[in-house]
Amino acid sequence: MCILGNQARGNMSGKPKLHYFNGRGRMEPIRWLLAAAGVEFEESYLEKRDDLTKLQQDGYLLFQQLPMVEIDGMKLVQTRAIANYIATKYNLYGKDLKERALIDMYVEGMFDLNELLMYYVFQPADKKEQHFTNMMDKATNRYFPVFEKVLKEHGKDFLVGNQLSRADVQLLEIILMAEEFKPDILAKFPLLQSFKATISNIPTIKKFLQPGSQRKPPTREEDVSKVMKIFHS
């Protein structure tokens, strides 16, 4: 009953409110989806361990974890659940069950690659080179060839159907992340190069890619200790 009571007290501004640290992590795909949908959102940044503890003690975090998004009177946790809700609400989830199944399948693969890219900066110094080699190998030999093939066989500007979906949004996010590590990573993938240009020019996404947006920069080495103190102290 306590949880339901907390759930009912939504964000009074009407805008979704995102609770996380001031960085990418598992919240960044959610920022991308909201931005692509043209939805304005607010953010509440955790600065210290006590900020997380307070959310936990107040009953706001169902599984005691972040990210958490206040939206439509709910306090949603779990990245995939949040992304599914936003994609459905803002028509980024295909036109029928089959399209949704394809979107889910592609996005799950993207989450796997995203985890590799996201965790590079958190690797100990003696493991970084090995991790870098592994994630570049997976990107260029496992994941990007799949999406190049999907685009070729589908013959459209989008991965699924003939309109923008969360799969397109999240693939662009991952392409740009991968290029931060290796700028020419798409050299052998001409269709992904075209896809990147097309999706980047969708007005809401183009706006999100401009300086001063709520898109977060790459996590730096000096950010790691701060994040670890919030979540693991």
The answer to whether the beta carbons of residues 213 and 38 sit under 8 Å apart is no
Residue 170 has pLDDT above 50, yes or no: yes
Return the pLDDT at 47: 86
Distance CA 139, CA 182 (A): 11
Distance CA 212, CA 19 (A): 19
The answer to whether the beta carbons of residues 233 and 49 sit under 8 Å apart is yes
Summarize pLDDT for 89-111 with one digit per residue, the tens.
999 999 999 999 999 999 999 99
Return the pLDDT at 8: 35
Distance CA 27, CA 43 (A): 11
Distance CA 163, CA 157 (A): 8
Return the pLDDT at 63: 77
DSSP one-letter string for 38-69: T---EEEE--SHHHHHHHHHTT--TTS-S-EE
Return the pLDDT at 12: 54
Hey, what amino acid is at 194? S
Residue 137 has pLDDT above 50, yes or no: yes
Residue 10 has pLDDT above 50, yes or no: no
**pLDDT above 70 as % of the chain:** 94
pLDDT, averaged across the chain = 90
Residue 201 has pLDDT above 80, yes or no: yes
**pLDDT above 90 as % of the chain:** 74
**Would you say the C-alpha torsion 124, 126, 128, 131 has a positive or negative sign?**
negative
Higher pLDDT pick, 142 / 12: 142
Distance CA 31, CA 54 (A): 23
